[in-house]
Structure 1
Amino acid sequence: MSLAARMNMQMLRSCRRTGAGPLAILGPGAFALGGSLGVAALLLAWAAAKAIAPRVALPDFAAGRTKLALRTDVVAALDVALRRGAPTAALVIEIDRFRQIEAEHDRAAIETLLRVTEDRLGQALLGAGTPARLEGPAFAVALEPAGDLDLEAALQMAGRVQRTLSEPVALGDANLQPTLSLGLALPRRLPSPTGEALLRAATVALIEAQRSGPAAIRSYSEAMRARVETRGALVQEVAHAFERGEIRGHFQPQLSARDGTLTGFETLARWQHPIRGLIPPAEFLPAIEQAGQMIRLGEVMLREALTALRDWESQGLHVPRVGVNFSSAELCDPRLLDRIGWELDRFDLTPDRLVVEVLETVVASRSDDMVVRNLAGLARLGCCLDLDDFGTGHASITSIRRLSIERIKIDRSFVTRIDEDPEQQRMVAAILTMADRLGIDTLAEGVETPEERAMLEQLGCGHLQGFGIARPMPFVETIGWIASRGAAEAQVLRRVG
């Protein structure tokens, strides 16, 4: 058996063990060797990612009580349209955050959600397509419109389906407003379109939509396929990368906007690949998440940060504190407080030297669960809490105060060209005023030019971070950077004196 065949069979067994969903979507044709969609990488990327199969079994649907067609019917409908030269496209749909929805509702509610979604899908198509239930919260459609179907028309149909399926669903005493991600594939985007190939291409587009989502729609392209295959290959290498020490922390300095003194560093993950070189975080972080290794990444970054604090002190360099980004997966870990407390004790560091950075989107989407309990526990322990990418989510003032947030980090989208854009100046000024009234410190991310820095200083921002100050650097380079700043500051003081 060839290597490609062995990889495909290994991933088939892995998907069966984990219950992940690509088998139902891709079908047996996906395992043909030499497939144009790089199915081995696609399967691994999907199976290790969001896993569309629900944790609870849904025997009613699996037993064939679904009102919709089967996957094979969608493939057949696409093949018929292609043979006739009729307009068609493949659409693959999945309910977002399905695992979280499962955790919050009982089996009867989950079955209600899936049945309502199934009913609404048929209604949304208005007879212009063949809908099918796939595995878990996933659906497929062979679009069969009466008129022409170019990309714009297909996206309009996909948008109509998405809007219909996103209407609130009554689940017992509560209403749930689901969001859905959609992947779309048109025949002209494939070199040799078949029904099977179209459905697989729509699955690739769905993976990209989920990466951009929630509630995103993406149309398949060959460049998209290449990205998914690359991520699939990286997923396979993640465990070895950790073992070989290829994933390390780089450190980006943060300065006081008032006097330019160093107030800390943020620890940022970097992957130094032996062949590809330095892989951008936008590429490898999704691979780590898909591989289920976010907690391991957090453990590595925490140790890197605390090691750096200890080593700076041993060389007589004072760094007040260091920040570490904590993912949603880590913040859901009931052992998080014990782990951080143990690491701080091991390095003989006080908790106030550690800044826990959490995305605003995480705080906005979690109201009363382990994330909130862990953040409150970290604040009680004495760690500093930073709300990262502020302005990109919808965190309420109540949640900010309840979680004892010490500092908000203004997202770079508000900072770029702030010196030229009066509207951005007004928005940042409003954020700074709010923070000041709440007694919360502020930091502006993505500061790249002297003009941006001057405007932020003028507006009263507390701290600054960005390429205009320094790029993230390996620990060894921070030594020289800190020393050179100290020498420059001493020289200025001597001149002033």
Structure 2
Amino acid sequence: MNNRDTNRVLIVDDDPLFLMMLEQFLVNQGYAVFKADSGVQAVSIFKEYLPDAVLLDGDLPDISGVEVCQQIKQLPEGHHIPVIMVTAMNDESFIDQSFHSGSSDYITKPIHWAVLKNRLSYLLQVKETTSALQISEARKSAILNSTADGIITVSPLGKVIDINPSARQIFDLPEDDTDLLLHRYLPSFQELLAILPGSNNISRTKAIRFNRKNPEGELFPIEVSCSRIMHSSQELYSLTVRDISDRIAHEEAMKLASSVFNNTSEAIVITDDKNVIRSVNPAFCKITGFAEEEVIGESPALLSSGRHAKEFYDQMWKQLQTEGSWQGEIWNRRKSGELYPEWLSINTVRNSETNDVLRYIGLFSDITQRKKYEEDIWYQANYDALTDLPNRTLFSAKLKEAIVRQKQEGRPFALMFIDLDRFKEVNDTLGHSYGDLLLLEAARRLQKIAGPENLVARLGGDEFTALIDQKYTVQQLEKIAERIVSELRKPFVLNGQELSYISGSIGITFCPGDATDMETLLKHADMAMYRAKEAGRNTYRFYTEEMNSHALHRIRLEEELRYAIEHKEFILFYQPKLDLTSNDIHSVEALIRWQHRTKGLIPPIEFIPFAEETGLINEIGEQILDIACKQLQQWQQKSSPVEKIALNISSCQLDKPEQFFSGLEDRLNRYGLRRDQIKLEITEHLLMGKDDNVIAQLHHQRQSGLSVAIDDFGTGYSSLSYLQVFPLDELKIDQSFIRNLSENSKNKTLVQAIITMGHALNMSVIAEGVENQEQMDFLIDNGCDQAQGYLLSKPLPAEALDNWLADNFCRN
């Protein structure tokens, strides 16, 4: 019931005094009061404020109280509102009219206030109770009409009292067929009563299942539960009927799913939306080695093999989010630590209404055996059974890939065709078993030389091919070919028998230089290989004549350099360095020349780069170091003004710094020289890329007295940071800056800057290539420390330098 503080009462009377008294009384009782002095005003106030009760005078100046009551009761909001007639008229006719118009009570004037108080309170309580009952009935009716269950109310005699729409729909009953329901579609009434567990407990229910036919004659399962209810002291029975066709179908599906889940050979793992494992089947445990209790609550990441990059899993999850599923091959790890391949399918289960992820379902199978079988089949189809090298099939595929890659990415490559010389003689004289052993050993040697980054294949018989990535220079390719020729020329020992007459002939062609299709490339390589055989075997030939000529030149050059090293054909010329402060000569730069036995004097530019490529520079460097130290000892013995020699060092010589400096130390000791009498000149290019060990060795040597100069400074390789990292004593300004000094103002500025920078770094600065007095004057004016060049002297042999010094300088 509403609290009196909240109840609102409309009072209607045309007597102002009575209206005031009535208002005062009701306010004192805790009511909220609205007043009207006419019928029309009363109806208007009612519509606006919707009071909880109306006290209405029967005799109003405009319309009668009976008419006002009728208008209020006709309103949707007014039919349940109590109206009390408060009037001085008490004749029987008016009383009848009042109650017929819908008034709830009748009080005559003068008012008995206690009676009014109690009647108004009672009517408001009745109103509240009636409203609550109406709401309850409406709610029950809504439930009965909206539930999917059929609800049937039956009397103790089995008569259907009420039936809801769902029951009619379940049995497809027309409106007039209700009485036949129990007889046609349900068990007998007594059978239904028998399922009640006890006659004294009205709250307990029990259900039975049975099949019935619908009007079309089709059987369908239903479930009926029966319970006793009391209504107005009368015992009734409530039957709840359910069509359980869908439920039974769902139960059967769940049984089937459970059977599949527990008996399938495929592993199943179910995770929640946070990817936490909630369920696994027996196959999962069998494949992974984990027990169910070990993985529940864990992430599937505990199976991770570590073989896949983060990007692999990122792509997997991206596809799961966008497409709802993912499948593919993945490597995982068993509990034992063993890695294994599996074929995995993952599906995302989402809420059909909100689209939120509910769970992920993963199914996978161990494909170890399948992959091994597939790999075995693939290997047999693509690899040579004897040598385990790629066969013609795989080689052709790889060659096509290389051609496509070259066209798309511009990556050239070389193709080598290798044929064993005199292989047929082995088969004819010693038998095929020896021929097989020879092929095995030849394949091993070829693979060792080519390395894992290049492909070696056996096409058949004694024919091999090699795909060489063109990250190698032509010179490096020649070295690879030379190594192959050398290795195949070495004796083969087969079953204790040495074969020393086997060799190899190689044809080399390039893509795209010679051809861009497989057939032409193979034809060119084959033609070049036969050219090698025509040239006497045991050699290699390029398909292009130009390359052949170049390769032959390099072969001859290497042979002649080795001869020169063996016969000590290298000599030194010396160019003096002028001290621009004292105008004295104290040091010279040693410059190598090759005194060829037939070609005469060869400058270093024609052989030093090749010597560096082939590694012969180290042997040449050892000879030059010995010649220079010996010459310095001789000058020292005859009191020559030359006290120091500068030696040019190749970057190759510092690849093994301990070995180089050990050789230098030996010669200093042998010829009685000090460390400060030797200056090493290294180019800017040499500074690039040397490791910390080289830097540490140079620092150690400098601390021991050895001087280090940077040669050809300014030619574009250096970074100023190297000038701080390397222990340098001297900067040599490249002659290209000095040569154009008088013609190019920028060169003057650069030379000035180099001199200033060198001095700021506590280094001496020397200019090379000084050829005229104008250049010399500029260097002196700008504080350059030393100079060398043809203005002073060209490089001279030791004896000619001695004569030059005697003619132009004395010791002091």
Q: 787, 793, 800: which is aligned to 1:470? A: 793
Asked if the contact 1:252/1:465 (under 8 Å) is kept, the reply is yes
Q: CA deviation at 1:449?
A: 2.3
Q: In the alignment, what sits opposite 1:448? A: 771
What letter corresponds to residue 140 of structure 1 in structure 2? C
Q: In the alignment, what sits opposite 1:337? A: 661
Q: What CA deviation, in whole Å up to 9, does each residue of 1:329-383 have, x standing for no partner? A: 21122322222222111111110000011111111232x3443233222212210
Pair 388,25 (structure 1): closer, same or farther in 2 beyond 3 Å: farther
CA distance in 2, matches of 1:232, 1:61: 25
Q: 94, 100, 110: which is aligned to 2:471? A: 94
What letter corresponds to residue 644 of structure 2 in structure 1? R
Greater RCO structure (CA 8 Å; 6+ sep): 1
The structure with more helix, counted as a fraction of residues? 1
CA distance in 1, matches of 2:514, 2:759: 54
Q: In the alignment, what sits opposite 1:58? A: 452
Q: CA deviation at 1:439?
A: 1.0
Say yes or no: does 1:485 pair with 2:808: yes
Q: CA deviation at 1:27?
A: 4.0
Q: In the alignment, what sits opposite 2:647? A: 324
Asked if the contact 1:360/1:388 (under 8 Å) is kept, the reply is yes
Unaligned runs of 5+ in 2: 1-412, 422-446, 459-463, 477-506, 517-522, 530-543
Q: What CA deviation, in whole Å up to 9, does each residue of 1:18-42 have, x standing for no partner? A: xxxxx9656459x9xxxxxxxxxxx
Q: In the alignment, what sits opposite 2:679? A: 355
Q: In the alignment, what sits opposite 2:723? A: 400
Q: In the alignment, what sits opposite 2:570? A: 247
The 5 Å alignment of 1:26-425 reads 27=417, 57-58=451-452, 61-62=455-456, 93-94=470-471, 140-141=511-512, 195=524, 229-333=552-656, 334-366=658-690, 368-425=691-748
SS at match of 2:809: helix
CA distance in 2, matches of 1:401, 1:468: 33
Q: CA deviation at 1:484?
A: 1.2
CA distance in 1, matches of 2:513, 2:557: 32
Pair 230,461 (structure 1): closer, same or farther in 2 beyond 3 Å: farther
Q: CA deviation at 1:94?
A: 2.3
Q: CA deviation at 1:472?
A: 1.3
Q: CA deviation at 1:448?
A: 2.0
Say yes or no: does 1:438 pair with 2:761: yes
What letter corresponds to residue 372 of structure 1 in structure 2? I
Pair 277,364 (structure 1): closer, same or farther in 2 beyond 3 Å: same
Pair 72,434 (structure 1): closer, same or farther in 2 beyond 3 Å: closer
CA distance in 2, matches of 1:97, 1:302: 31
Q: What CA deviation, in whole Å up to 9, does each residue of 1:163-193 have, x standing for no partner? A: xxxxxxxxxxxxxxxxxxxxxxxxxxxxxxx
CA distance in 2, matches of 1:96, 1:370: 28
CA distance in 1, matches of 2:686, 2:704: 21
SS at match of 2:688: helix
SS at match of 1:94: coil
Q: In the alignment, what sits opposite 2:407? A: none
SS at match of 1:365: coil
Asked if the contact 2:591/2:795 (under 8 Å) is kept, the reply is yes
Q: CA deviation at 1:303?
A: 1.3
Q: In the alignment, what sits opposite 2:287? A: none
Q: CA deviation at 1:282?
A: 1.1
CA distance in 2, matches of 1:378, 1:301: 19
Asked if the contact 2:679/2:706 (under 8 Å) is kept, the reply is yes
SS at match of 2:471: strand
What letter corresponds to residue 511 of structure 2 in structure 1? A
* Structure whose alpha-carbon radius of gyration is higher: 2
CA distance in 1, matches of 2:454, 2:681: 43
CA distance in 2, matches of 1:329, 1:320: 27
CA distance in 2, matches of 1:391, 1:199: 45
Q: CA deviation at 1:227?
A: 6.2
Asked if the contact 1:364/1:393 (under 8 Å) is kept, the reply is no
Asked if the contact 1:409/1:444 (under 8 Å) is kept, the reply is yes
Taking structure 1 as the reference length, what is the TM-score of the superposition? 0.56
SS at match of 2:606: helix
Q: CA deviation at 1:59?
A: 6.4
Asked if the contact 1:331/1:374 (under 8 Å) is kept, the reply is no
Pair 303,365 (structure 1): closer, same or farther in 2 beyond 3 Å: same
CA distance in 2, matches of 1:471, 1:25: 48
Pair 73,261 (structure 1): closer, same or farther in 2 beyond 3 Å: closer
Pair 225,24 (structure 1): closer, same or farther in 2 beyond 3 Å: closer
CA distance in 1, matches of 2:545, 2:454: 36
Asked if the contact 1:326/1:358 (under 8 Å) is kept, the reply is yes
The structure with more strand, counted as a fraction of residues? 2
Q: What CA deviation, in whole Å up to 9, does each residue of 1:207-262 have, x standing for no partner? A: xxxxxxxxxxxxx996x876664443221011221222211111111111234311
SS at match of 2:634: helix
What letter corresponds to residue 680 of structure 2 in structure 1? V
Q: CA deviation at 1:143?
A: 8.2
SS at match of 2:802: helix
Pair 246,94 (structure 1): closer, same or farther in 2 beyond 3 Å: same
What letter corresponds to residue 338 of structure 1 in structure 2? S
CA distance in 2, matches of 1:471, 1:26: 48
Pair 257,295 (structure 1): closer, same or farther in 2 beyond 3 Å: same
Asked if the contact 1:417/1:452 (under 8 Å) is kept, the reply is no
SS at match of 2:512: strand
Asked if the contact 1:249/1:301 (under 8 Å) is kept, the reply is yes
Say yes or no: does 1:426 pair with 2:749: yes
Asked if the contact 1:231/1:283 (under 8 Å) is kept, the reply is no
Asked if the contact 1:268/1:301 (under 8 Å) is kept, the reply is no
SS at match of 2:805: helix
Q: CA RMSD in A?
A: 3.9
Q: In the alignment, what sits opposite 1:14? A: none
Q: CA deviation at 1:97?
A: 13
Q: CA deviation at 1:453?
A: 2.1
CA distance in 1, matches of 2:474, 2:652: 13
CA distance in 2, matches of 1:427, 1:340: 35
Q: In the alignment, what sits opposite 1:3? A: none
Asked if the contact 2:578/2:786 (under 8 Å) is kept, the reply is yes
CA distance in 2, matches of 1:376, 1:198: 55
Unaligned runs of 5+ in 1: 1-22, 32-52, 65-69, 75-91, 100-134, 146-193, 201-219, 491-497
CA distance in 2, matches of 1:54, 1:408: 45
SS at match of 1:401: helix
Asked if the contact 1:326/1:356 (under 8 Å) is kept, the reply is yes
